[in-house]
Homo-oligomer: A and B are copies of this chain.
Amino acid sequence: MSPPHRSPAGATSSTTTSGTTGTAAWHPAWLPDEALRPLGARGVRLLASGDDPVVTTVRAEVDHAAQTAGTTTTPARATLALASDALAVPGLRAAAEHALALAERPGLAGLLGAQGFVVADDEGALVVVAAQPRGLLAGWHHLVRTGGDASGATAGDLVAHVPSQAVRMLDHWDNLAADSPMGPVERGYAGASLWFADGRVRDDLTRVEHYARLLAHTGINAVCLNNVNVHARESALLTSGIEQVARLAAIFRAAGISTYLAVDFAAPITSGALRTSDPLDDDVRAWWERTFADVYATIPDFGGVVVKADSEGRPGPFAYGRSHADGANLLARALAPYGGTVFWRAFVYDHRQDWRDRGTDRARAAYDHFTPLDGRFDDNVVLQVKLGPIDFQVREPLSPLLTAMPRTRLAMELQVTQEYTGQQQHACYLAPLWREALDFRPWGPVELWDTAATDPDAQTVAEVVRGTDALPGGLVAVANVGDDPFWTGHPLAQANLYAYGRLTWDPTLDPSALLDEWVALTFPQADPAVARTVHALLDESWHVYESYTAPLGIGFMVRPGHHYGPDVDGYEYTPWGTYHFADRDGIGVDRTRATGTGFTDQFPAPWRDVYESLETCPDELLLFFHHVPYSHVLHSGATVVQHVYDTHVAGAQAAERMRDTWRDVRGLVPDDLYARVAERLDEQVRSAAEWRDQITTYFWRKSGIPDPENRVIP
């Protein structure tokens, strides 16, 4: 491990140090040395021996914390003998000369799994016990996060910390070079790839080591390295490039993170010399078997693959008349001997739709394609389903596919990178959006809309995707990082990455509390005004973004291609299946079963009825499910068009307040970070005004209904 972090050149806060790799420099994010000092000062003794890479990482962390605090580490490290009673933790005390102790105890595996740990207060000495190295590392980061004295354990108590979700993955849409289609990182807004440059893996991976450490801290246990749109150059990573991938895998391995690659379903053709990639072809099967044999010879703990097939032009099994189960199982069976997993994306729809055809509904596509295949996927296939039925809009209903695959491992895919939520120019804290989805109960109860069809014991989405011990699932998200000094372009977008990782571990964490954690780690010893300001800026920022952009669940009023800024009709006459059908009388997509596309039918009760009815459909999703006149009165009491005017004016004003709020922390955070956020907030204010004016003008011109307060520009 390299020194755990470096901060960007020009950082002026005394809480950060600086360093560079090549010409780049970076901010320490939520692991500045300052954040380790309290723990280091208290002293930690590691009771784990051996050269397991993760144990070695923990050892380096313990040493580094001690050095940071100016204390000396104890040279001797005892090996803990396993107690006969796996939970007889107080017995550890004799071995723990310091106030805190970490211990590796394989006997706890049944309770804690590979990655959990137990915290106990043994007469004032906090003791952390894990069954395996990854749990040990998670326990260490727990101590870092809590400063060693906020663990939640009280004297005599044992508190077990076990991750909620087995799958806690981050996908990187990184391409091998800046001249790749869509640039170095597809939908990336934070510079180039952290690990690819000029067509290969970078020579200097120092920064990747710190990145892996940041992820490990949050709970992430898997990364996919490359763009799901796998082009020819990137396809070779799996074959001729696997030695390069191994360098990255070694870094992530030491942080307790498994490495995956996105692969091209046509790889037997593009990388092999075959004429087909038919999943039922023997040569194809043999090609994948040979390929994975070679992969595992180089990377024995390779995680597996992510596949975007038959999606937006990518090849897939449809070309051969095969099902997606055939496609996924082909790869799964070649991976099974090594314990590898296939993440198969359910993002399959017709991207060459005819806009004239109002009967075809992109929202239906994933459900229609995949529900017939439930139970037909092998056990080492995880079906990766986007949160909503369209594509990461600021507001969508839950993808009903998540409710309809009981015999399939599922992962819900989120987007940490802000493709449709401001592209890290706008501050938009997404944890509340994710929590709303994770907490959603597809089978009821319907809290806001009082219907009889409720089931108080119904599962939440978090419980659905968690799956079972036999068929565990979890969460996947698209990362928002790059070689930008602040990792995420907008420094406050670090909070999204932090919160995503933490929610994978515990989906019940409160978004506001996660902000507190992030602030405490990122700005240690900062004035309390910093936390207040971050909350004032971020707590409601998702709703603010929604308010000045796409109203009432309509979505996709963005500039085609890059997806930044407003263009109400930008996608209206395109093949992408993303329409609003606004005319001079009204707007919205009729997805009811009574008169529309029947999409509401894909939901279980009660939501299939809640969404079907204009009486009960939530305002924020009204136009997703219904086509209504501009004069339709919402539950809020406003008409649709007045809601559009009001929310857009208010949203742009809120953006201005966010900009003003930030000024409260000038001098309290590093100057370069302050300036970067200030610059982004200026752009957010400009852009929010542009959104407000375009959207309100569009609907004024179309509806002819004036704003009573004359705030709309004709």
Mark A residues whose CB is within 8 Å of B: 179, 356, 559-561, 566-570, 573, 582-585, 690, 693-694, 697-698, 700-704, 713-714
- The answer to whether A693 and B583 have CB atoms under 8 Å apart is no
Q: Which of B179, B570, B583, B713 contacts A701 (CB 8 A)?
A: B583
Residue of B nearest to A561 (CB): B561
Residues from chain B with a CB closer than 8 A to the CB of A568 are 569
Instruction: Enumerate the 3 nearest inter-chain pairs by beta-carbon distance, A residue then B residue, closest first.
Output: A583-B701, A569-B569, A584-B584
User: Known contacts A567-B569, A567-B573, A573-B567: does B356 contact A582 (CB below 8 Å)?
Assistant: no
Residues of B within 8 A of A567 (CB): 569-570, 573
Residues of B within 8 A of A573 (CB): 566-567, 690, 693-694, 697-698
Closest to A582 in B: B701
Using known A-B contacts A568-B569, A573-B567, determine if residue A584 contacts B697 with beta carbons closer than 8 Å. Answer: no
Report the nearest B residue to A695, measured CB to CB.
B573
Chain B contacts of A569 at CB under 8 A?
A: 567-570, 698
CA distance A584 to B701 in the complex (A): 6
| Alpha-carbon distance between A355 and B583 when the two chains are bound, in angstroms | 22
Residue of B nearest to A354 (CB): B693
Residue contact B704 to A583, C-beta cutoff 8 Å: yes
**Once bound together, how far apart are the Cα atoms of A310 and B695, in whole Å?**
32
Q: A566-B573, A567-B573, A573-B697 are in contact. Are A584 and B356 (CB under 8 A)?
A: no
The A interface is mostly helix, strand or loop, or mixed, namely: loop
Q: A569-B568, A697-B573 are in contact. Are A702 and B704 (CB under 8 A)?
A: no
Given contacts A573-B567, A701-B583, A704-B585, contact A713 B179 (CB under 8 A): no
| Complexed CA–CA distance, A690 and B356 (Å) | 10
Contact of A584 with B713 in the complex, beta carbons under 8 Å:
no
Q: Is the CB of B583 within 8 A of A713?
A: no
In the bound complex, how far is the Cα of B70 from the Cα of A668, in angstroms?
Answer: 90
Q: Which residues of B contact A570 (CB under 8 A)?
A: 567, 569-570
Q: B703 and A356: CB pair below 8 A?
A: no
Residues of B contacting A584 in the complex (Cβ-Cβ under 8 angstroms): 584, 701-704
- The reply to whether A583 and B179 contact each other, CB–CB distance below 8 Å, is no
**Can you list 28 pairs linking A and B with CB atoms under 8 Å apart?**
A356-B693, A356-B697, A356-B713, A559-B560, A561-B561, A567-B569, A567-B570, A567-B573, A568-B569, A569-B569, A569-B570, A569-B698, A570-B570, A573-B690, A573-B693, A573-B694, A573-B697, A573-B698, A582-B701, A583-B700, A583-B701, A583-B714, A584-B584, A584-B701, A584-B702, A584-B704, A585-B704, A702-B702
A356 surroundings in chain B (CB, below 8 A): 693, 697, 713
Say how far A328's CB is from chain B's closest CB, in angstroms: 35
A704 / chain B contacts, CB cutoff of 8 Å: 583-585
- Nearest B residue (CB) for A694: B573
Q: Give the residues in chain B near A561, CB-CB below 8 Å.
A: 561
- How far is B568's CA from A582's CA once the two chains are assembled, in angstroms? 14
**What separation, in Å, do the CA atoms of A698 and B566 have in the docked complex?**
18
- 5 new A-B contacts, CB < 8 A, other than A559-B560, A584-B584, are A356-B713, A567-B569, A573-B693, A573-B694, A583-B702
State in angstroms the CA–CA spacing of A584 and B706 once bound together.
13
Nearest-neighbor residue (CB-CB) of A357 within chain B: B713
- Complex CA–CA separation, A567 to B701 (angstroms): 17
Alpha-carbon separation in the docked complex, A58 to B216 (Å): 77
Q: How far is the CB of A581 from chain B (nearest CB, A)?
A: 8
List of B residues within 8 angstroms of A693 by Cβ: 356, 573
Give the CA-CA distance A689 to B179 in the complex, in Å. Answer: 35
**In the bound complex, what is the Cα–Cα distance between A698 and B573 (angstroms)?**
9
Across-interface contacts of A697 in B (CB, < 8 A): 356, 573
A356 smallest CB distance to B (angstroms): 5
A237 to chain B, nearest CB (A): 23
Whole-angstrom distance between the alpha carbons of A568 and B713 in the complex?
Answer: 20
Min CB distance A669 to B, Å, is 33
A693–B575 alpha-carbon span in the complex (Å): 13
| Residues on B with beta carbons closer than 8 Å to the beta carbon of A560 | 559
Q: A538 to B713, alpha carbons, bound, how many Å?
A: 44
Q: Give Cα A513–Cα B108 distance, bound, in whole angstroms.
A: 93
A698 and B698 CA atoms in complex are apart in Å by 13
- Per the bound structure, the CA–CA distance linking A569 and B694 in Å amounts to 11
Q: Shortest distance in angstroms between A140's beta carbon and chain B's nearest beta carbon?
A: 47
A584 → chain B closest CB, angstroms: 5
A703 to B585 Cα, complex, angstroms: 10
How close is A489's CB to chain B, nearest CB, in angstroms? 23
Assembled-state Cα–Cα distance A697/B357 (Å): 13
Residue of B nearest to A568 (CB): B569
Name which residue of chain B comes closest to A179, CB basis. B179
How many angstroms from the CA of A401 to the CA of B165 in the assembled complex? 70
Report chain B residues within 8 Å CB of A701: 582-584, 702
> How far is A702 from B698 in the complex, measured between Cα atoms in Å?
11
In the docked arrangement, what's the CA distance between A698 and B713, Å?
Answer: 21
Cα–Cα, bound, A573→B557 (Å): 13
In angstroms, Cα B572 to Cα A569, docked, is 10
Contacts of A700 in B (CB 8 A): 583
